[in-house]
Amino acid sequence: MANHLYQNDLPDGLDLGPMVAIDCETMGLNPHRDRLCLIQMSGGDGDCHLVQVAKGQATAPNLFKMLEDPNVLKLFHFGRFDIAALYHAFGATTAPVYCTKIASRLVRTFTDRHGLKILLQDMCGIDISKHQQQSDWGAETLTDAQLDYAASDVLYLHKLKEKFDAMLAREGRTEVAQACFDFLPTRAKLDLAGWPDTDIFAHS
């Protein structure tokens, strides 16, 4: 396993394969206020590729191309937030996507615990640390501990997807899950446009 850190964009010619796990680190949870600082990605081979985003940066052509590539499935855990952050930062509509948190909510109805750490423990026997979760991602130089933490959020999503695909099929919920995944980019845009907490499908 190795971490590869880049500045501002993915390098030319880097192919992470047909399925890329993605997660973002920001300065906070409000994409209008809190800037995007780091994007970590893995093709499922045990390596992590991290792009450090400069303050005020608005373009990342190679990353943008991959995010919008219809032939590359992007894996997330709580993709709603990351997709919104990426769209706000670069104008990229990330698709197609798969979200392990949505999958968990659809099939793990016996629990209300759907965090990544819990899922990896329960379903894959993998224990990851969340110690660096609230560290300063806007720092000019990121520590090895920060990079390792960031990597842990994407290195196992391919394995988790395999588990959830089997459970979704078993429970007859594959089709509804796919419909939810397809809607995620629109859900993220609704969040950014001012409807983060409003159920637009509600009667009143």
Q: Tell me whether residue 204 is in a domain.
A: no
* pLDDT given at position 1: 79
Q: Tell me whether residue 132 is in a domain.
A: yes
**Region 61-76 average pLDDT:** 98
Percentage of residues in the chain with pLDDT exceeding 90? 95
Convert the pLDDT of each residue in 106-139 to its tens digit: 999 999 999 999 999 999 999 987 666 678 999 9
- Expressed as residue numbers, the domain containing 56 is 3-8+15-193
Q: How many domains does the chain fold into?
A: 1
Nearest one of 170, 155, 183, 168 to 93, comparing CA atoms: 183
Convert the pLDDT of each residue in 125-174 to its tens digit: 999 876 666 789 999 999 999 999 999 999 999 999 999 999 999 999 99
Q: What is the CATH number of the domain that holds 153?
A: 3.30.420.10
Report whether 31 contacts 83 (CB < 8 A): no
Beta strands in the chain, from DSSP E residues, in sequence order: 3-7, 19-26, 36-42, 48-52, 73-76, 97-99
Percentage of residues in the chain with pLDDT exceeding 70? 98
* pLDDT given at position 134: 74
What span, in angstroms and rounded, lies between the C-alpha atoms of 145 and 180? 34
Q: Tell me whether residue 200 is in a domain.
A: no
Q: Tell me whether residue 144 is in a domain.
A: yes
Q: Tell me whether residue 107 is in a domain.
A: yes
**Rounded mean pLDDT of the chain?**
96
Q: Tell me whether residue 199 is in a domain.
A: no
Q: Tell me whether residue 167 is in a domain.
A: yes
CB atoms within 10 A of CB 52: 21
Exposure letters 175-197 (e unless 16+ CB within 10 A, then b): eebeebbeebbebbebbeeeeee
